[in-house]
């Protein structure tokens, strides 16, 4: 069995934080999301090769990540020749590109590169018996299911209904981005793409696929975070810090600081400030500030700032700002002038 981690998106909803770094390498409690996925795949004995599928823009960054990480599996980077959001192959297109270029003829486990979960992938692989399989997750809030592919299964785990992002979900079971596709179904990816179906949503492929072949869903317990926006990214960090007192992981320095449910990276200084539900990257200086639900990238400097629900890019300088709406702060480092772009 081969494994694929899809990491080819441009994550526009996370700009400016993901302008120059891919979302799968964003830190969760100081460790890249991708590291969590690799640790899960390392535990699956059936897998001999792990492919990281990305785009040409982030090729060098992933290559550097691979040099620093040891694995018991063969790990290979597969780069699709795109440099813009408008030209990307999409998750299904990237899957077909890999199957074709790596001449994949074996069973395939596929994961999205922006998921954090506690599922046992070894158990999932063992449950596989020649039919495509999806890990399903039971949501507590049915209204939230409309963000995902909503699934119904029978007593034999056979998918009897699959609806991508329905306005009125029929069940509370949703499809996670964890799949196993047997070798016999791999040619169907090409057939799907030939039909001019959506290329950037694996749920659309599954919605099409279960009408062609038997697809089974495996309900697994634990936690699952689809890190589609900054809210869930912050929540995933808080979950990953649950072993730490008050959900705080602090690796910087502080002076008269009040910190709640937040991560603060190495070399960062929090002075005379209060931060809550935030992710602060490395070498950030925050002074006389109040921050709530914010993500602040490396080397930013914030002084006399009151921010809520915002993303601050690397090397940004902010002074005397009071922002209560969502904002994204971009900064060309050489100019010293901030550029505010509202969502």
Residues 86 and 11 in one domain: yes
Residues 226 and 293 in one domain: no
Q: What is the percent of the chain where pLDDT is above 70?
A: 93
Give bridge partners of residue 339 from the DSSP assignment: 330
Instruction: Say if strands 74-80 and 149-153 run parallel, antiparallel, or are unpaired.
Output: unpaired
Give dist(CA 220, CA 119) in Å, integer: 7
Residues 229 and 248 in one domain: no
Q: Name the more confident of 297 and 69.
A: 297
Domain containing residue 312 = 243-342
Across the range 76-89, mean pLDDT stands at 86
Residue 322 confidence (pLDDT): 61
What is the maximum alpha-carbon separation in the chain?
62
Residues 317 and 184 in one domain: no
Mean pLDDT of the chain: 88
Residues 272 and 306 in one domain: yes
Residues 228 and 87 in one domain: yes
Residue 339 confidence (pLDDT): 39
Give dist(CA 301, CA 297) in Å, integer: 10
Residue 294 sits in a domain of what CATH number?
A: 2.160.10.10
- Judged against a pLDDT cut of 90, whether residue 301 lies above it is answered with yes
Among the three residues 211, 234, 257, which one is the final residue of a domain in this structure? 234
Number of domains in the chain: 2
* Per-residue pLDDT reduced to its tens digit, 135-172: 999 998 888 899 899 999 999 999 999 998 999 999 99
- How far is residue 164 CA from its own chain's centroid? 19
- Judged against a pLDDT cut of 90, whether residue 4 lies above it is answered with yes
Q: What is the percent of the chain where pLDDT is above 90?
A: 67
Residues 228 and 254 in one domain: no
Give dist(CA 322, CA 307) in Å, integer: 6
Residue 118 sits in a domain of what CATH number?
A: 3.90.550.10
Residues 164 and 305 in one domain: no
CB count within 10 Å of CB 267 equals 15
Tell me, yes or no, if the pTM score tops 0.85.
Answer: yes
Rounded to the nearest 5°, which phi and psi values hold at 75? -120, 130
- Judged against a pLDDT cut of 60, whether residue 340 lies above it is answered with no
Residue 127 confidence (pLDDT): 80
Residues 191 and 251 in one domain: no
Among the three residues 169, 199, 234, which one is the final residue of a domain in this structure? 234
Among the three residues 210, 234, 258, which one is the final residue of a domain in this structure? 234
Residue 334 confidence (pLDDT): 35
Residues 214 and 247 in one domain: no
Q: What is the CA radius of gyration of the chain?
A: 21
CA angle, 226 then 113 then 147, to 5° = 25
Q: Under a CB-based contact definition with an 8 Å cutoff, are residues 275 and 295 in contact?
A: no
> CA-CA distances (angstroms) from residue 311 to 47, 152, 335?
37, 37, 19
Residues 261 and 308 in one domain: yes
* Per-residue pLDDT reduced to its tens digit, 161-216: 999 899 999 999 999 989 999 999 999 999 999 988 888 888 899 999 999 999 99
Residue 326 confidence (pLDDT): 54
- Judged against a pLDDT cut of 70, whether residue 327 lies above it is answered with no
CB count within 10 Å of CB 55 equals 23
Among the ranges given (37-51, 67-81, 95-109, 286-300), the one the predictor scored with the smallest mean pLDDT: 67-81
* Per-residue pLDDT reduced to its tens digit, 90-106: 889 999 999 999 999 99
* Per-residue pLDDT reduced to its tens digit, 17-55: 998 899 999 999 999 999 999 999 999 999 999 999 999
Residues 75 and 152 in one domain: yes
C-alpha torsion angle, residues 250, 42, 222, 128 (rounded to 10): 160
- Judged against a pLDDT cut of 50, whether residue 333 lies above it is answered with no
* Per-residue pLDDT reduced to its tens digit, 213-260: 999 999 999 999 999 888 999 999 999 998 887 778 899 999 999 999
């Amino acid at each position: 069995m081969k494994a694929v981690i899809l990491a080819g998106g441009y994550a526009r909803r996370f700009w400016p934080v993901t302008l120059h770094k891919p979302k799968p390498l964003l830190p969760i409690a100081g460790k890249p999301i991708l590291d969590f996925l690799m640790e899960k795949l390392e535990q699956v004995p059936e897998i001999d090769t792990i492919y990281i599928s990305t785009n040409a823009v982030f090729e060098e960054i992933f290559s550097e990540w691979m040099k620093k990480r040891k694995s018991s599996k063969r790990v290979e980077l597969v780069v699709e020749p795109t440099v813009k959001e408008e030209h990307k192959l999409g998750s299904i297109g990237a899957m077909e590109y890999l199957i074709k270029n790596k001449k994949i003829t074996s069973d395939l486990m596929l994961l999205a590169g922006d998921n954090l979960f506690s599922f046992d992938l070894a158990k999932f692989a063992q449950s596989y018996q020649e039919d495509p399989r999806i890990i399903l997750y039971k949501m507590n809030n049915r209204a939230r299911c409309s963000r995902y592919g909503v699934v119904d299964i029978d007593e034999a785990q056979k998918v009897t209904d699959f609806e991508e992002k329905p306005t009125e979900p029929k069940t509370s079971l949703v499809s996670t981005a964890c799949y196993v596709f047997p070798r016999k179904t791999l040619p169907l990816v090409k057939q799907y793409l030939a039909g001019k179906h959506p290329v950037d949503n694996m749920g659309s492929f599954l919605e099409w696929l279960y009408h062609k072949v038997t697809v089974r869903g495996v309900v697994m317990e634990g936690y699952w975070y689809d890190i589609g926006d900054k809210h869930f990214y912050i929540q995933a960090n808080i979950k990953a810090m649950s072993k730490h007192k008050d959900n705080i992981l602090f690796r910087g320095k502080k002076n008269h600081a009040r910190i709640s449910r937040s991560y603060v990276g190495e070399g960062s200084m929090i002075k005379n400030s209060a931060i809550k539900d935030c992710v602060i990257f490395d070498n950030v200086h925050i002074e006389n500030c109040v921050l709530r639900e914010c993500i602040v990238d490396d080397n930013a400097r914030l002084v006399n700032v009151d921010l809520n629900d915002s993303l601050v890019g690397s090397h940004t300088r902010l002074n005397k700002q009071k922002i209560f709406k969502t904002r994204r702060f971009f900064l060309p480092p050489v100019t010293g002038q901030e550029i505010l772009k509202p969502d």
